[in-house]
Amino acid sequence: MFRTAQPIRTVCSVATAAAAVTASLLLPTGTPQADAAPACPDLNVVAVPGTWETSHDDPGQGMLSLVTRGLPGSVRTDYVTYAATALPWEGEVYGMSKREAVNTARGMVAEMAGRCPATRFALIGYSQGADAAGDLAAEIGTGLGVVPPDRIAAVGLLSDPRRSPTDALIGPPVPGAGAGGARIGGFGWISDRVRTFCADGDLYCSVPQTDLAGRFAGFLTQLSAPDPFQVVNYAVTLQSILSEALIPGVAAILAAPADNPAGEQWMTQVQEFLMSGAHQSYPHYAVDANGTAATTWLHNWLADIAAQ
């Protein structure tokens, strides 16, 4: 009886430590970008930057500037301004920050769609921004959005914390799924227009199925400000964690030596991930046989779509 309680307490301890570390993993990259902005463009790219990459003064900076810079003149790029924070003392926890990004992006799409009935849309995002852009894309793709699915021309997600193994991955295969758990129902009618990118070793978009601490960390991050519309997603994600990762996770905790407990092993894994730079590698992470970087591939894809 007492032997069973100890692993459970240890699991909770590991999950708590995982959640505390998860919010600190996103780092800014890239350079500012400015675009010409036709009033009613053929293609409106709505770009959602990652954590700590945006501000109300200059949202058009960071990783996505490498994607949107130099797109054809028929394209208008609009960056989503939102808190882009993760920690409570920054003003908003991750869940509230992401919800602000989704709501703002949704409003931008609705406004443009109402004013310009022929304009198509591309939704792109990086990290927390990919989380938000992906949720909005799923909403539209399943028929619950502010525009019909046929107005979405492309969705490009760099390091999506809710990447599903069934999403169309551009680049080498990576294990598991996003730390936040896959979107229930996927992208619906726009699945064929979604492309996701996940660098090998990026724990945000590639957490092994049996990694109990990593998956609990992502789940608790999503729950930092619960969205009532995501209740079904939360329930299915938790059930998936318990059925797929609980037993292997407890086994790993029991097998860990006393001088190197499972919690410390996971913290070491996170530290190695931070030092690896995998999360910031997309400007040079090759995704095809020609060595094309993820950001370049996404840029070229959007340019080709704009020309159609």
pLDDT per residue over 6-22, tens digit each? 443 443 444 444 444 44
Q: What is the CATH number of domain 2-307?
A: 3.40.50.1820
Residue 16: the pLDDT is 42
Regions of the chain short of the pLDDT cut 70: 1-37, 54-59, 85-92, 209-276
CA distance 62 to 51: 10
Residue 167: the pLDDT is 97
Tokens encoding 63: 């990783």
Straight-line distance from the first to the last Cα atom of the chain, in angstroms, rounded to the nearest whole number:
66
Residue 176: the pLDDT is 87
Residue 248: the pLDDT is 42
- pTM for this model (two decimals): 0.73
Query: What are φ and ψ of residue 224, in 5° steps?
Result: -60, -25
Strands 75-79 and 152-158: unpaired
Residue 225: the pLDDT is 54
